[in-house]
Structures are given as structure tokens and as C-alpha cells.
Structure 1
């Protein structure tokens, strides 16, 4: 018989976490970055822009101007949809790239990652099917899993989504949306040609499908001609959400992104944003608007892209000697990432610990797959280090792979 002392407090267990929080794990990439954060490690694992290429002077001037001229506004609450001056400037930039857009078509978000979360809230019911490229952006997989979606991969090749495979899987699975990164995709670095984009738009129009077109890297083109957005193709106008970001072209710490969407969906995302954070920080929005008015962002992006091209070339120059015979890799025309596949006998997840011991790191490809993973793949980010460091990193990678 249990005797309870007078005034004793009996502690019952607290209620459990929500099922979605229990069942969705953390980011393997973040876990790898924590392990490889030592300064002596040449890290091809991250997806971080090169900080020495930030226009720190221009950004500092923008904040100083805003705080000197309109501190009361900059430090105050703002509208959920975003500061009008920034929305107008963004609309002008998008329109100049041949997609007619008004300020009212845009919702400013705290990075394009938040835009993706808002869309999941507004569109996805638990059990809905979402289609993704194979492989795809890891954080998108997390967002969709957290929303309770059933995620199905679409067959892809070196040019991205296979339109015939997309048509077949839409007919079979009846999905709610397709998530795609058509330009310099994360993790593969590949770009979808214009004819494929038109075909994807046609499938979406004929089958009844939302398209979420994520474009954080599109301005970082090194060579070749710009490819129009899927959103600009006939049939896609009323069913495509375009996501953009300043993180890769201005500074990720400002946490500024946006979504362009049809009116009803945009309003639903605005309501979801009100519940999430009310609005993106006013001072950051006004500073970005000032920067766009006072500086030449396109010229800055061209400088960044030229530096990234040199870094890509430094990585490409050493891969043939570093990777095992039979390996294949692509040559991205822009962006931040290169995708490599080793011979089938190699498991890049199992190899990583041994490779990090040689003070170099990559991201194994397996976590980026929605279905059965290709364990011989790896993602290499080529923008964070200078060319000479990249050359040394590739040599270390080669020594590590030969050692195992």
C-alpha cells in the first residue's frame, strides 16, 4: 500500500509532443555542419554564401539611412503583407525579368523558407500528396513532412523533371502540389530547360496541380542564357507560386524573402503569417528597399557570380584526380552546388567520418531523396571557400577516399 505524505506533490507526466514533432527529425545537413565547424576543416558541406563578398558597406549605409531618416517607422510594427516600398521594388525587378507583377501580387516573408512553411499551412491537409524532384531540397522535405503530407518523388534526369513521368505520377497519385527548384537546383545544381518548364506548366494546367517554383539561386548565373520562370509559361498563371530570396544575393542574415501567388492563396498565406510572426522585421525591409534604390544590386550580383564561377572551376579542376574511377559529376551553369555520384560500392554516409578525419567535408546525398536514396551520391558546395582553399580541399578529399 502506497502512503502519500500530507502536502506531498505527485508529479504526473506532462502531455506528449504533437505527433508531427515526434516523427520529423532534424536536419542532417545542420548536424554535419556542427561536426565540421572546426576552422581547419575545408567544408564543402554547407550552403552558406561567401561572407567576404557581402556588400557590407552598402548594407550598413542602408540601415544607417533608414534609422537616421525614419527610425519611428523602421522600429515600429508593419503590415503583414510587407512594406509598400519594398514590395514595389520587388515587383519592378520581377517585371523586368518578363513576368508582369504588381506590388499587390507579393507577400514579403522572413526568408523564402518561411514562404514555404506558409504555403504548407495554407495548402496541405494531413495525408495530401506532394510531389518533389528526386533528389530535392532537404528543408522542403522537412516542411512537407511536418505538415503531414505524403511526399512522392518524380523521376528526373540531368535536365530535371521528366514531363512524361510527371504526367503519369499526377494521374496515379492525385497530388495537391509539385515543388520544384528549376534553376541551379539544391542539391544537384542542374537547371531545367525552357521546353521542360513549358511541359511542366502544361501538365499542371491539364491535370489540376499547384506548382511551387522556388528560385533562391536563379540570379547567380555564370554562363548561358537566363531561362524564363515556369510561372511565365501559358497555363501556369493561375496555379504557380514563385518564391524568391535576398539571402543568396544580398545577405542571409537579413532574412528577407517573398512569394508571388494568385490572390486567394496569397491572402491565405498572409493569414498564416499573421499567426506566425505578424510581419517580417520592418527595419530589414526598409533597409532592403533603400539598398535597391541607392545601389546597383545587379552589378553586385554579377561580381558575386564571377567569383563563384572561379570557385566552381577550382572544384571541377580537381575532381577527376580526387574521385574514384567511375565517378560522374555535373557542371552547373550557376548557383552554389555540384552533385557527384561515386561507383555503386561507395556509401558516402558511411565514408563521411573517415573523410572528416582528413579535415574536409561534404554532404552525403541520401537525405535529399524522398524515396529510396542513392547512397553513392554527395553534394559539394563550392562558394564558401576561396579557389586556393578549394584546390586544397579537393586534394584532401582525394587522399581521404583513397585511404578508405
Structure 2
């Protein structure tokens, strides 16, 4: 509704009066509440303004102040740094574009009714407004994260910090476990947010290639030794961007390597709620000795607005991570924690996760089938997550494909963003979760056209 009104009134002269709420509702076949909500959005954007007792009008466009001379900043800032590029997943795009570059669920896949009920209940709880016990997290939520790992490794709430999402957890953990200038080992490809966090902290990233089973533990062993590294960041389950998981044998062998090298694994379990089938057990579930720092995000399966993750660790590492966290956030807001806990405790949450898995399977398979006639290669269908990882043919450059597709209304993520070093080939990541299936055929046609220079 907001998009329709925006298109209608964006270029109308300031002072143009909008029809009444009832008239707009009748014209578009929606309820008055929907129209009122849309108008509030446009008021917040400054496109329209309400005049009490008079009505709603197109707002005057404010005159932008003349910009000063910022050329001096080029000298002050020096050469471009690791934080200067705008990564594809953070790009703002036109509302009508197919946003298949983003790593979030489309709104209809979110647990909307559970979230609305949880927000209502949380808003009535006075404890939400207090800061007590916020430094580490709401106790019941910390207990939930610990129980998720099972009983084999004996975790409890004291091992858990609640952080403002998985990206925060990754960043504070890298900062706590490795000093600037040291090496950190990462899979290639891997999550660009972890690459960015490591570089921002001044770490040297040493990549090891992913294999059909995950990684080669012998490569990990040799790399840790050669670079005197003690930290390995990985996504063993539904890795972003490929959606692949480590085999059971690789998980066991990696634990043996970590123990022998006295090293840490940062296990980023970002997509556990996005499983297409049964997800494998976390590596941390079999780690009683504190080699694994486990990050369990709720954001992807619950809502982009619920920036909540559990960060689980032990011993001196836990104490260092706690201190490191305070350098970037003192605590995670209580409202988000209470809403997350309410949703997790609801009888409808397991049903939502199960239904989501079935929907993601259908979307994955439908998009993959339509891409069968496009000259791209899918090594293996992902077992979870949100996207297909597509190898481009021949000498086709991913950045050129992304640029041409964007001009035609399809947004994709170029593969080089996901590699800590040079990629072995050109790839693009294409999400099947953020765009409705009704547009998949159009997206496939655009991709095919974009492969032709």
C-alpha cells in the first residue's frame, strides 16, 4: 500500500491534498487500517504531512543545504582501507527490484503471528525496561541456548552471553581470541561479514578450500602449524554462501586437530532454523574442553529486527570474550531478548520451523529447476540456508553479470565478496528466500540475458 501511494504522490506538487482514508481504501480494495499504516510510513519518510483538522497533503521537499568542501578528507584518510567497499548484501535497491542478493527471508516466511503476540506481551512487562541482568542476557534465554547444545558437553547458562546478533558475536570473538597481526584460518568461500570483521581487527586471513565433505582436516592441521594460528572461523552447518555442511567424519577429525594444536574453532551456526531436512549436530555439542566457541543466531529464522544470538564459550576464553564484547556493546536490549524468548517458548515455534523447512525446500527446487536451462552450474543443492551458489561459465565475470542483471531489475551477490583471497572461478549467490516464487522465471530469464556481454 505504501509503495502504491508513493508512486502516485511522489511527483505531485507540494500541498496537493490526498483523498480521505476511506476513499483510498475503497480505491485499492484494502481496509482503512492498512491505509493509515501506509500513510504513517510516508509521513516518516517526509513525503506527506498531516494537518490536524484539515487532512493529509504532499509535503514540501526541503531544500538541501549547500554542501561544503570535503576534498580535504582524501588527504586525511589516505589510501582506501578494508572497510571502504559497499558489499552487495547491504545495498539499498528499488522497491520493485528482485532482491535476490539479500540473506533474509521474505516477510511471508517470518513467524508474524508469533512475533506480534510476543511484542504485545513483552511491552506489558516492566522487566523489559530494566537493565538488570542485561550484561550477560536474560537468564531463561541463556538457559535455552545452553539446552540447545544438549547434555553431552554439559553447557549451562553460565557459559552463555546473549549478543546483538551473530555479526556482533563473530566480531567480539575474533577480537578476543586473536591479536592484531596474527593469523586466523577461514574456509574459502565463507561469510563476508567474518572476513570484514577479521580485517577490521587487523588479522591476517589464511584461507583453506572447502571440499564436498566440508574441509580437509589435514589442510587445517598444516595451515595452523605453518602460520602459527590458533583460531579457525567456520560455518560447519549450511555454510554461507554454499549451503553445504561438514560430514560427520570431518567434524570428528577437526576436533582431533584442534585438541592437538591447542586451537579454537569459532563455530558460526547462523542457519540452524533454515534447515531443509534434519540439521547435523553442532560441533560444540561434542566439545567438553572449550575448543569451540559456539555462535547460535536467531535472526535469520525469526526476524531481521530480532538481533539476538547466543555466544557460548568456556574458561579464560569466555572471560576474554565477555570483556571484548563490552568494547562494542554493553548489553543486548531487553525487548529483543524477551520477544525472542517468548517466540521460542510458544507451541507454534517448532511448527513454524518445520513449515519453513518445507517451504525452503520447495523454493530451492523450483528455482534450481528453472536455472537448468541457464548456462550456470550448481555443484550440489544446499541442505539449508537461503541461497543457490552458481558457478558461471567460461570467462564470464561475476561483477559484469551482477551489474547487467541489476540494470534489468535483478539483484545478485558477486562471488568474489565471499572469498578471503582470489576465487578459483566466477560465482554469484542467488537467494531463493527473499523473492516470491512467482518471479523466479523472470529472474532466470534476466540471469540468462546477463551472461551475454
- Residue 435 of structure 2: aligned partner: 385
- Residue 116 of structure 2: aligned partner: 60
1:87 to 135, 138, 142: 142
1:22 is displaced (CA, Å) by 4.1
State the TM-score, normalized to the length of structure 1: 0.88
1:263 to 294, 312, 315: 315
1:206 is displaced (CA, Å) by 0.8
- Give the Cα–Cα distance (whole angstroms) in 2 for the partners of residues 244 and 168 of structure 1: 28
1:335 is displaced (CA, Å) by 1.2
Q: Which runs of 5+ in 1 are unaligned?
A: 1-12
Show CA shifts across 1:51-106 (max 9, x none): 112222211211222222x22x211213311011211222233327x654211111
Task: Name the SS of the counterpart of 1:151 in structure 2.
Answer: strand
Say if 2:400 is the partner of 1:342.
no
State the TM-score, normalized to the length of structure 2: 0.79
Checking the alignment, whether the CA contact within 8 Å between 1:311 and 1:385 is kept in structure 2 is no
Q: Which runs of 5+ in 2 are unaligned?
A: 1-71
- Give the Cα–Cα distance (whole angstroms) in 1 for the partners of residues 398 and 286 of structure 2: 39
- Give the Cα–Cα distance (whole angstroms) in 1 for the partners of residues 178 and 419 of structure 2: 20
Say if 2:173 is the partner of 1:119.
yes
Show CA shifts across 1:331-357 (max 9, x none): 111111221112231111122222222
Structure number with greater CO (CA < 8 Å, separation at least 6) is: 1
1:390 is displaced (CA, Å) by 1.8
Say if 2:100 is the partner of 1:44.
yes
Task: Name the SS of the counterpart of 1:338 in structure 2.
Answer: strand
Pairs aligned (count): 381
1:264 is displaced (CA, Å) by 2.1
2:281 to 228, 231, 235: 228
1:135 to 170, 178, 189: 189
1:328 is displaced (CA, Å) by 4.2
- Residue 362 of structure 1: aligned partner: 412
1:152 is displaced (CA, Å) by 0.5
Q: Matches of residues 182-193 of structure 1 in structure 2 within 5 Å?
A: 182-193=236-247
- Give the Cα–Cα distance (whole angstroms) in 2 for the partners of residues 251 and 201 of structure 1: 32
Show CA shifts across 1:111-134 (max 9, x none): 011111111221121111000001
1:17 is displaced (CA, Å) by 7.7
Checking the alignment, whether the CA contact within 8 Å between 2:172 and 2:325 is kept in structure 1 is yes
- Structure 1, 278-287 or 85-94: larger mean CA deviation: 85-94
Checking the alignment, whether the CA contact within 8 Å between 2:150 and 2:285 is kept in structure 1 is no
Checking the alignment, whether the CA contact within 8 Å between 2:210 and 2:216 is kept in structure 1 is yes
Cα distance, 1:390–1:52 mapped onto 2, change above 3 Å: same
- Residue 371 of structure 2: aligned partner: 319
Checking the alignment, whether the CA contact within 8 Å between 1:115 and 1:257 is kept in structure 2 is yes
Show CA shifts across 1:186-228 (max 9, x none): 11111111111111111111112110000011232213x4322
Determine which structure has more spread, i.e. the larger CA radius of gyration: 2
Checking the alignment, whether the CA contact within 8 Å between 2:174 and 2:198 is kept in structure 1 is yes
RMSD value, Cα: 2.3
